[in-house]
Structures are given as structure tokens and as C-alpha cells.
Amino acid sequence: MRTNGRGYTTTGPPGRPPKAPRALTMRGRDPEERHRTATSLELLFDLCFVIAVAQASHSLHEALMAGEYAAGVLHYALVFFTIWWAWMNFTWFGSAYDPGDAPYRLTVLVQITGSLVLAAGVSRAFEEGDLLVITLGYVVSRTALAALWLRAARSDTARRRTALRFAAGVTVCQAGWIALLGVPEAARLPGIVVLVAAELAVPVWAQSAGMTPWHPRHIAERYELFTLIVIGESVAAVTVAVRGAFDRHHGIGPLSAVAAGGLVTAFAMWWLYFSRPAHTLLATTHRAHRRRFGWAYGHYLIFASAAAEGAGLAAYADHVTLGPAVPAAGVGAAVTVPAAVFLTAVWAVHLRPHQRTAAEWLPYPLTALAILLGTWSPVPALATGALLVVLIAVDSAARR
């Protein structure tokens, strides 16, 4: 009996490579497996989710330019939740169960199709409050995930109760989202809040029956890759906006400052997130797995704020060239608030457990406060980037 390289064992004559079975069982992968990395299918999954993230960021940008701050942020928070939740659930499932056979690959491709349908409905959700298309894409993706959990329940008898709870919870929540389409618009928001709370409760409830065999290094890499995606979306959004503004030949000096500040901010966001190794923290939480929910769920704020930063920078670039369509403080807040949220969330869920002294952790909340105060500075993007650079320097000195 030999390992097939995916955490499973196969049989065959010695000295001859084992023949890959058409369909492997989902007994659960080894959480201590060496050299576990993201697969090409997982990378394709992330790549397709980039489209949904870009659509959400672009729609937030348009809402900010229209001065629809409350409605725009609310729609963005809901839309990004569906994107993040669909991504996160598959990520943790794939870390625990990934045979890589044809049925598994086809089911994941169905989930990817659902994410693309979801992305197609983002603009309608923002502009008209129409959740039909986005709900359809979400249900397609989550129904495929429920099928995977049923398959895992059939194969992994030791964790059957956990897998069945996941399948039941996902199915019930999807029925709720479908039913929400027929609810009067006035009662829709409370229904959304209830369903979001139910979605968040499903993994906690399911894994109270037994933990799935997720891999700390693999999960860390998956989250790091998605962090790069959302930071890259910020860079892409501000690049497109600044390029369009330069093409209009307006405000070259202020635009240069916005571009420089946005680039430095993106670099600093990357630097801060990757300044501590996530897998060491996850290795600890694997032994005390209940704490991992705070780390996993807290990344919603990290991902959403990183993508929103690009929308805010793009809105400020448009403000520089198109005139005061909205108050300067409004577009300034669109730059500083996401940056402050990103910094606070990264510090709270990703960096704080590594820090032992006040000299290490105190600069983070103070810098977040200073960034918010920078809303009223002449160039908020430049002020934000400068403050983050100072924080990186202070943090490096404190660690030394």
C-alpha cells in the first residue's frame, strides 16, 4: 500500500506506479501531510473569483461617485459576503477533502460556474437592489458544495456526523435565500441579517461534532493567495482610474500624488499582512481549533476592506479630475476608512497573537486612528501611505 501524493493510499504491484482510480473516496486528508500546496484547480477557482471581486469593487466605486455612501456600503458588504463565504467554504472543504478525481473536479467546476453567475448579478444588486441573479449563482455554488459534503459523509465514517451537519446547514440556508426573493422589500434587510447569522453558525455547529482534517500550511497559503488577489484588485482599480484621468489631462500634480499614495498604500498592505507567518498561528489553533473561527471570519474585513480601498482610490482620482461632484471629505473617507479597517483587522486577527509587548501592538491602533484623521488632509491617499510606511518602520524597530 502506497501514498498517491494526495493524502490517500493506493495499491498496486511494487515497482510500478499506481493506477489512478476513477473515483477516490473522501476519507479526509492528512493534516500533517508534507509539501501540501494549492492545486491548479484551486488557483483556477481563485482566478474566477477575481471577476466577482472586481465587479463588487467597481460597483462600490460608482456608488461612491454618486454620493450613495450608506446604500453603496451596505450593498457592497452583502455582495462581498456572498463572494467571500462561497470562497471560504470551498477553501476549508478542499483543505480537508480533495481526492482530485473527476467527480470532485466536475463538482468544483460547477461551483466556479456559480461564482461567475454571481459576478454577473453584482451590478443589478447595486443599481436596482435585484438579488435574483446573485442568489441564483450563490445557490448553484453552494448546492455543489452540499453535494461534496454528502460524498464526504458517505466515505468518511469517522466524521460522518460533521459532514451531514454541513450538508444540512448549507441546504437549509440556500432554501432561506431563495425564500427571501419573495419577501417584501421592507422586510428583506432583517431577513438578510438572519440568514447571514445562520450561515456563520453552520460551521460552528457542524464542527462541534468533530473537526475536519484541514491542513494549517495549506489554509495559510490559500488565504495568502486571496489576500494578494484583493490587494491586486486595489492596484488595478486605481491604475485604471488614474490612467483615465491622465487621458483627460486634468490635475496632473494631484493625480501623481494620488497614484503614488495608492501604490505605497498597496505595498504597505502587502508588507503588513505578510510580516508574520500565518501557518505558525494556525498550527497553534489546530490544537485549539475553536479559536480559528475568529481568524477565518476576521478575514472578511481584511478582504473586503482591501478591495474597497481600490474603489476609494479610484473615486478620489475621479474627484480630482471631474470636480467636486461629492464633498472632498466624502471621497477622502472612501480612501482612509478602508485602509483603517484593513490595518485594524490585520492587526487583530493576524498579527496581535504574535505580539507580546505594548511596544509591538500599540502602534497599530494609533496608526489606524491617525489614518482616519487624515481624511481631511490635502491628499488622503498620500497621507495614508506615509502613515503605513512609518508604522512598518516602527514595527520593525520594535521587533529588533
Task: Identify the pLDDT of residue 3.
Answer: 46
Closest CA to 114 of 177, 183, 57: 177
Give the three cell numbers for residue 332.
Answer: 477622502
Inter-residue contact 371 to 340 (CB < 8 Å): yes
In the block, which residue shows the cell 482566478?
47
Give the three cell numbers for residue 70.
Answer: 450608506
Inter-residue contact 81 to 89 (CB < 8 Å): no
Closest CA to 60 of 305, 227, 308, 262: 308
One-character DSSP codes across 105-117:
HHHHHHHHHHHHH
Whole-number Cα distances in Å, 74 to 42, 186, 189, 325: 29, 15, 10, 21
Length of the chain as a residue count: 400
Task: Identify the pLDDT of residue 289.
Answer: 59
Radius of gyration of the chain (CA): 22
Task: Identify the pLDDT of residue 26.
Answer: 78
Which amino acid, 393? Answer: A
Inter-residue contact 94 to 146 (CB < 8 Å): no
Inter-residue contact 112 to 44 (CB < 8 Å): yes
Task: Name the percent of the chain in helix, strand, coil, to the closest 5.
Answer: 80, 0, 20
Task: Identify the pLDDT of residue 12.
Answer: 39
Whole-number Cα distances in Å, 256 to 57, 204, 313: 22, 47, 12
- Series of mean pLDDT values for 10-residue runs along the chain (400 residues): 46 43 71 88 92 91 87 91 94 92 94 93 83 92 95 92 96 94 87 94 93 90 93 83 66 78 93 85 62 88 95 86 68 93 94 80 93 90 94 84
In the block, which residue shows the cell 481563485?
46
Give the three cell numbers for residue 112.
Answer: 466556479
Alpha carbons 371 and 103: distance in angstroms, whole number = 49
Task: Identify the pLDDT of residue 325.
Answer: 61
Task: Identify the pLDDT of residue 248.
Answer: 63
Alpha carbons 217 and 220: distance in angstroms, whole number = 5
Q: How do the domains of the chain map onto residue ranges?
A: 40-207, 216-399
12: left (phi over 0), alpha (psi -120 to 50) or beta: left
User: How many CA atoms within 13 Å lie on the side-chain side of 57?
Assistant: 32
Task: Identify the pLDDT of residue 285.
Answer: 60
Domain 216-399's class?
Answer: mainly alpha
One-character DSSP codes across 262-323:
HHHHHHHHHHHHTTS-HHHHHHHHHHTGGGHHHHHHHHHHHHHHHHHHHHHHHHHHHHHHH-
In the block, which residue shows the cell 481568524?
295
